[in-house]
């Protein structure tokens, strides 16, 4: 079932420790990116729990699932908002690297930020080129790449679609468990609200063959990751603060 984005417009986020309030645009930017990041980590969890074959980089496969889920799960207006903010998140990472004199980590398991940016934009645009031409143009996706995006999304859907349909066939359940450290700051609360809502929505739509714990807690670093040893997705509260700092003004 498609749903509207839960960008927490009704949540009062107050003022963080820095003394600067989180404005509505920054809040929505953070919430959208947290959602897409959670879908990325779900990709890692699905690959591990379901023992899915991966041909290529696992990080790329997880990025693809994130784009597919944003398209599949949300009404058009909400999907575009989330996709736009997520793409800008990748681009802002690249901008910050350049400003800080940090070279792209070509050795890393993740692709360069700008490559992830263009691929995410392409996949989301390719899912509905008729309605999303302005999305692709606004985010400066080259015409040469636009020509391949419909085929790229079809390939992505053919890969992840059967997996999601099989999980949906299992029916609703409680295979995903959620745990949040409520002794955190405003960024921890925001993360818990966004991810808690996602876990609840996922449980209402599907079931995994094994339990998956999703935790929100301080980690000492801006990060989010899946731990296959414990079957846990950890969303670090510092990530939300980092996203708020890079949000476009």
Cβ-contact 230, 180 below 8 angstroms: no
pLDDT at 240: 95
Instruction: Please list the ranges in the chain whose pLDDT falls under 50.
Output: 1, 7-20
Residue 40 to residue 65: CA distance in whole angstroms: 7
State the Cα–Cα distance between residues 74 and 56, nearest whole angstrom.
28
Reference 126, options 102, 146, 100, 109; nearest CA is 146
Residue 140 DSSP symbol: T
Q: Does any domain span residue 90? A: yes
Whether 6 is in a domain gets the answer no
- Flag whether 2 is in a domain: no
| Residue 112 within any structural domain of the chain | yes
CB 216 within 8 A of CB 181: yes
CA distance 14 to 73: 29
Q: What is the pTM of this model?
A: 0.89
Alpha-carbon torsion angle 177, 224, 181, 13, nearest 10: -110
Place of tokens 């959602």: 35
The count of domains in the chain is: 1
Residue 107 domain flag: yes
- The answer to whether position 29 is within a domain reads yes
In a domain, 18, yes or no: no
Q: Which domain holds residue 122?
A: 24-246
The pLDDT of residue 16 is 42
CB-CB neighbours of 151 under 10 Å: 10
DSSP state of 185: -
* 116, β-bridge pairs: none
Among 158, 161, 160, 151, which Cα is nearest to 127's? 151
206 in any annotated domain: yes
């Amino acid at each position: 079932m498609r749903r509207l984005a839960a960008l927490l417009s009704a949540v009062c986020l107050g003022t963080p420790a820095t003394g600067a309030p989180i404005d509505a645009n920054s809040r929505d930017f953070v919430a959208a990116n947290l959602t897409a990041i959670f879908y990325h980590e779900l990709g890692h969890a699905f690959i591990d729990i379901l023992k899915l074959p991966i041909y290529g980089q696992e990080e790329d496969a997880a990025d693809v699932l994130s784009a597919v889920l944003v398209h599949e799960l949300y009404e058009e207006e909400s999907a575009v908002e989330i996709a736009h903010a997520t793409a800008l998140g990748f681009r802002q990472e690249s901008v910050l690297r350049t400003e800080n004199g940090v070279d792209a980590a070509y050795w890393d398991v993740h692709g360069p930020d700008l490559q992830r940016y263009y691929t995410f934009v392409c996949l989301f645009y390719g899912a509905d080129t008729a309605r999303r031409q302005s999305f692709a143009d606004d985010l400066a996706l080259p015409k040469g790449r636009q020509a391949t995006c419909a085929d790229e999304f079809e390939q992505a859907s053919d890969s992840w679609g059967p997996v999601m349909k099989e999980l949906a066939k299992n029916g609703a359940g409680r295979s995903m468990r959620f745990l949040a450290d409520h002794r955190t700051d405003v960024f921890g609360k925001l993360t818990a609200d966004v991810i808690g809502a996602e876990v609840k929505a996922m449980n209402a739509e599907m079931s995994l063959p094994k339990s998956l714990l999703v935790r929100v807690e301080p980690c000492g670093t801006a990060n989010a990751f899946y731990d296959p040893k414990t079957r846990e997705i950890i969303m670090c509260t510092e990530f939300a603060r980092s996203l708020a700092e890079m949000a476009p003004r």
